[in-house]
């Protein structure tokens, strides 16, 4: 039986979420004391850096454009490398990502991928239950005791003898954990996710020949990487971990971080496991940062592929930067998923994934991401053919030169009602699932998570607020968006059936989506107001 919402106060932290059976094994007094140490030391700096983000955005709104930093030129020009990689991070040719629910954790670890990134961020709706049960699931996976029986089918899930290496993606610096308060204020979601995992599992992982490995999302500067480094150093000292045993791959998924790749690697050089091209958040970030500039309007979401020049430049710059520093550069997510019952559509999806991975491997990436176990063999086949060695770090790509103008080049392409309509349909479909506690969902043969849904939402905001014209001459107005929202709500009812529609959150999702698009003040992340709603509903 759970405790009340006003849970125990431990080590200066007040737990506001219910303590369900088993939660007390994660939320121990010792673990909470560690979280209090992290939040007390680093919470104020996190908030200061978020304020810096706001000030940088104000400059961008006034027309300023980013460039490589003159004050860190010496770091970019100097010869240095990151610390050597652990043995189990040398070969990362295929990585799979997904949420932290129990069946997904087992399937991903068994998928044949080299790495599984268990995601507390874009693929997980951060309800209290999802987060703490996720910690339980990961704890059990680390100790290889995890098991699951599907209540509907009776199918039993167990770990294979050979499983993927585990990496954890905590939430970004911008997200709070409203169920744990310090001095009456929500603590950092990132520190909550990181702290509980490293506290409970770091020593066990090291004893098993691996280590506490992380992905760090949505960094916007090397100062934000420096904060993570300081967190790692304190965690290693507090928990008596070997210096440098915590390793982290930084997702370059903001346009501002793309100008500071060297500096980010330098800040984390003792803890670095390279960089990853988080393409979907990167596209979202590009639109968001230049949202008020009519000259920075992108075409339909489907037209913005890795073949576009600004994304190709970003990919190749990441490879060149990482390899010069002895670090791996991991490619981005293939959002396509297998299409059941339609062999022709399935082959189209697989061929697109294959072409995407061939591009990455040719550029020199040392591995790639997929979102579905069915795509692991496709990606692995490509990287086995292009990369017979564990990685391509020896391939320095000194032939690559990328300028600020290359990174900031806005792609050309059509802007159509079909693109607008797809943005609305995806936005409603994803937010509807999120409000029900689901952080990633297959929609229209793609795996949508917060990053992909953000592109749809942000693009519509920009089209409306810059009075963008579609190719047929119509200006995208809020009236047009309202009409399409009404039509797409009806389409969702037809797709899922009246009963499922009535049980779902489609009208709520459409209202939130509409509010986000209509608001004069752009909301930095759709998950912020969505999180407030699920917390208010007791989730």
Per-residue pLDDT of 196-224, as tens digits, reads 999 999 999 999 999 999 999 999 999 99
**What's the confidence (pLDDT) of residue 358?**
97
**What's the confidence (pLDDT) of residue 387?**
98
Please tell me the distance from the alpha carbon of residue 357 to that of residue 130, in angstroms, as a whole number: 32
Helix 450-465 / helix 478-496 crossing angle, nearest 10 deg: 150
* Residue 4's pLDDT band (cuts 50, 70, 90): very low
How large is the average pLDDT for residues 114-143? 97
* Residue 281's pLDDT band (cuts 50, 70, 90): very high
- On whether the pTM is more than 0.85, the answer is yes
**What's the confidence (pLDDT) of residue 7?**
56
How large is the average pLDDT for residues 114-136? 97
Per-residue pLDDT of 241-274, as tens digits, reads 999 999 999 999 999 999 999 999 999 999 999 9
* Residue 477's pLDDT band (cuts 50, 70, 90): very high
Q: What is the mean pLDDT of the chain?
A: 96
Cβ(153)–Cβ(8) below 8 Å: no
pLDDT > 90: what percent of the chain?
94
Q: Residues 92, 169, 320, 457: which is the catalytic one? A: 169
**What's the confidence (pLDDT) of residue 6?**
47
Tokens of 227: 């904060």
Radius of gyration of the chain (CA): 22
Helix 450-465 / helix 506-518 crossing angle, nearest 10 deg: 50
474 is catalytic: no
Please tell me the distance from the alpha carbon of residue 318 to that of residue 278, in angstroms, as a whole number: 11
Residue 376 φ/ψ region, left for φ over 0, alpha for ψ in the -120 to 50 degree band, beta for the rest: alpha
Per-residue pLDDT of 499-535, as tens digits, reads 999 999 999 999 999 999 999 999 999 999 999 999 9
**What's the confidence (pLDDT) of residue 341?**
87
Cβ(170)–Cβ(121) below 8 Å: yes
Per-residue pLDDT of 46-103, as tens digits, reads 999 999 999 999 999 999 999 999 999 999 999 999 999 999 999 999 999 999 999 9
Please tell me the distance from the alpha carbon of residue 356 to that of residue 360, in angstroms, as a whole number: 6
Tokens of 514: 């509409």
> At residue 8, does pLDDT exceed 90?
no
pLDDT > 70: what percent of the chain?
98
**What's the confidence (pLDDT) of residue 505?**
97
Per-residue pLDDT of 426-466, as tens digits, reads 999 999 999 999 999 999 988 899 999 999 999 999 999 99
How large is the average pLDDT for residues 296-307? 95
**What's the confidence (pLDDT) of residue 229?**
98
Looking at the DSSP bridge assignments, the partners of residue 188 are 176
**What's the confidence (pLDDT) of residue 1?**
44
- Cα 360 from chain centroid? 19
**What's the confidence (pLDDT) of residue 9?**
63
Q: Residues 281, 300, 366, 449: which is the catalytic one? A: 449
Spell out the SS3 assignment of 84-141.
CCCHHHCCCCEEEEECCCHHHHHHHHCCCCCEEEEECCCCCCCCHHHHHHHHHHHHHH
**What's the confidence (pLDDT) of residue 470?**
98
169 is catalytic: yes
Looking at the DSSP bridge assignments, the partners of residue 182 are 13, 185
Q: Dihedral through CA 186, CA 191, CA 193, CA 199, nearest 10? A: -120
**What's the confidence (pLDDT) of residue 521?**
96
């Amino acid at each position: 039986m759970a405790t009340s919402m006003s849970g125990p106060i431990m080590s200066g932290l007040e737990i506001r979420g219910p303590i369900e059976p088993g939660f007390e094994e994660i939320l121990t007094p010792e673990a909470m004391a560690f979280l209090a140490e992290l939040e007390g030391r680093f919470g104020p700096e996190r908030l200061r850096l978020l304020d810096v983000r706001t000030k940088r955005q104000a400059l961008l709104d006034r027309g300023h454009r980013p460039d490589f930093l003159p004050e860190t030129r010496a770091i970019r020009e100097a010869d240095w490398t990151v610390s050597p990689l652990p043995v189990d991070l040398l070969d990362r040719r295929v990585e799979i990502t997904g949420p932290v629910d129990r069946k997904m954790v087992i399937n991903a670890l068994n998928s044949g991928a080299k790495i599984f990134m268990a995601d507390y961020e874009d693929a997980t709706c951060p309800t209290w239950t999802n987060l703490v049960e996720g910690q339980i699931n990961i704890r059990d996976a680390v100790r290889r005791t995890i098991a699951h029986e599907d209540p509907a089918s009776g199918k039993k899930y167990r770990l294979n003898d050979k499983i993927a290496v585990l990496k954890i993606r905590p939430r970004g610096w911008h997200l709070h954990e409203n169920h744990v308060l310090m001095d009456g204020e929500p603590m950092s979601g990132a520190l909550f996710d990181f702290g509980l995992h490293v506290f409970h599992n770091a020593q066990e992982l090291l004893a098993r020949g691996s280590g506490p490995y992380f992905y760090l999302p949505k960094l916007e500067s090397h100062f934000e990487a420096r904060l993570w480094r300081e967190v790692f150093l304190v965690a290693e000292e507090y928990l008596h971990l070997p210096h440098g045993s915590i390793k982290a791959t930084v997702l370059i998924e903001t346009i501002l971080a793309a100008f500071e790749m060297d500096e980010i690697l330098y800040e984390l050089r003792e803890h670095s496991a390279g960089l990853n091209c988080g393409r979907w958040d990167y596209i979202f970030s590009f639109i968001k940062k230049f949202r008020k500039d009519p000259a920075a309007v992108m075409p339909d979401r489907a037209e913005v592929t890795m073949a576009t020049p600004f994304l190709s430049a970003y990919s190749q710059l990441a490879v060149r930067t990482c390899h010069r520093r002895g670090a791996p550069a991991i490619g981005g997510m293939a959002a396509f998923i297998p299409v059941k019952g339609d062999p022709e559509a399935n082959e189209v999806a697989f061929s697109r994934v294959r072409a995407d991975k061939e591009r990455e491997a040719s550029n020199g990436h040392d591995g790639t991401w997929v979102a579905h176990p069915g795509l692991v063999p496709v990606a692995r086949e490509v990287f086995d053919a292009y990369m017979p060695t564990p990685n391509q770090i020896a391939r320095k790509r000194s032939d690559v030169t990328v300028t600020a103008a290359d990174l900031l080049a806005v792609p050309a392409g059509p802007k159509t009602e079909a693109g607008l309509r797809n943005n609305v349909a995806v936005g409603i479909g994803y937010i509807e699932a999120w409000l029900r506690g689901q952080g990633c969902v297959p929609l229209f043969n793609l795996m949508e998570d917060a990053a992909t849904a953000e592109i749809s939402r942000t693009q519509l905001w920009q089209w409306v607020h810059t009075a963008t014209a579609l190719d047929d001459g119509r200006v995208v107005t809020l009236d047009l968006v309202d009409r399409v929202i009404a039509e797409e709500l009806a389409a969702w009812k037809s797709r899922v059936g009246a009963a499922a529609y009535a049980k779902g959150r489609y009208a709520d999702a459409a209202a939130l989506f509409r509010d986000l698009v209509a608001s004069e003040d752009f909301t930095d992340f759709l998950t912020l107001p969505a999180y407030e709603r699920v917390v208010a509903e007791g989730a």
